[in-house]
Structure 1
């Protein structure tokens, strides 16, 4: 059993990282910005909106992840089975230490007619380019903004930051929001209160 799979099985039994977060009981769905729109009156990307999104995302990340916390940084992409998949150093651009690329771990999950590829490393927050990472995720649907996540087989990859120290999973899916999943009832209530004005009701 892979290290990531083993960790999830032990600490989040019944949760499938390749599936929806919404059905897991201790999940918060957070909206990053509701005071502005993505586009301005001229149908151009709105800098007020995106700067607010970047600020909210960075604050949440720093709230949930301490400097000494042990993490999994997970890069997940899907491909059709009849396409070739080239394993390249996909994580390099998001990390401060290129030595980490030599420690990449891979897993593959067959799902319907697709293969889900997970590429991950163990690291700390200081190993990640936080500003670049947040912007790349939030800019992914806007071709005029940089940096952006590169699409593979027509899909943007999904990125998860798993805090092994506090047993918390953070998933920013795009500029609209993120999911916070935690194993601890106490942490769940703490985050629920902290982000109560940002929680999206399902």
Structure 2
């Protein structure tokens, strides 16, 4: 499977589960949501518009329209009751050309967080779609990911990772608060670090600066 080869070559021993930033030496953690207030939990709020803007800007800076990417979704099976019954519906909603869905791959693996599965009953389903950036409605998809903890629809409850095959990067929005960007080398994301330095999460800034300075 192409995903396995890519990860083994570029991100050995890294598991596609949060927090990517803390589990890999080369990365950036960006702050997406700024100045949240309880009343901002609604569609069209200033807060959410700011989250969308940062998320989409970072994604477009990382993924050119004609570049090959892998969209990877983790879905957990807690003993037979799938958390992701509508896998094809999710992908079909955000894919422009339905013929691309023929490339969708599925693999079942042991639960991706083994320490939370003492009895060994859980499983993780990986769904991998190889496509070009232009094949997906990424603006709508990213907004749905950001909506997940905000009570705004549509939303996506499963983890979605965007892998840039050429640049050897992984981009993951963990919720409306922030996102992780990890790379095989600092040079792959140095321009992103410089251009969007003001968006870096201050809590992790010291660690991030050491990677690039």
Going by fraction, where is helix more abundant, 1 or 2?
A: 2
Distance 1:59 1:9 in 2: 29
Q: TM-score scaled by structure 2?
A: 0.82
- Ranges in structure 1 where 5+ consecutive residues have no aligned partner: 150-155
Q: Which moved more, 1:51-60 or 1:97-106?
A: 97-106
Does residue 172 in structure 1 map to residue 161 in structure 2? Answer: no
Residue matched to 1:83: 81
Task: Say if 2:41 and 2:150, in contact at 8 Å, map to a contact too.
Answer: no
Task: Say if 1:137 and 1:172, in contact at 8 Å, map to a contact too.
Answer: yes
Distance 1:81-1:196 versus aligned 2 partners, 3 A rule:
same
Distance 1:87 1:175 in 2: 23
Distance 1:129 1:56 in 2: 17
- Ranges in structure 2 where 5+ consecutive residues have no aligned partner: 112-116, 205-213
CA deviations 1:62-85 (Å, max 9, x no partner) are 000112211001111112133357
- The alignment yields a C-alpha RMSD, in angstroms, of 2.0
Note the C-alpha offset of 1:194: 2.3
Task: Say if 2:18 and 2:174, in contact at 8 Å, map to a contact too.
Answer: no
Q: How many residues align?
A: 191
What is the SS of the residue equivalent to 1:122? strand
Task: Say if 1:75 and 1:91, in contact at 8 Å, map to a contact too.
Answer: no
Distance 2:41 2:175 in 1: 18
Distance 2:49 2:18 in 1: 30
Task: Say if 1:135 and 1:146, in contact at 8 Å, map to a contact too.
Answer: no
Residue matched to 2:17: 18
CA deviations 1:115-136 (Å, max 9, x no partner) are 1111111111111112210111
Note the C-alpha offset of 1:44: 5.1
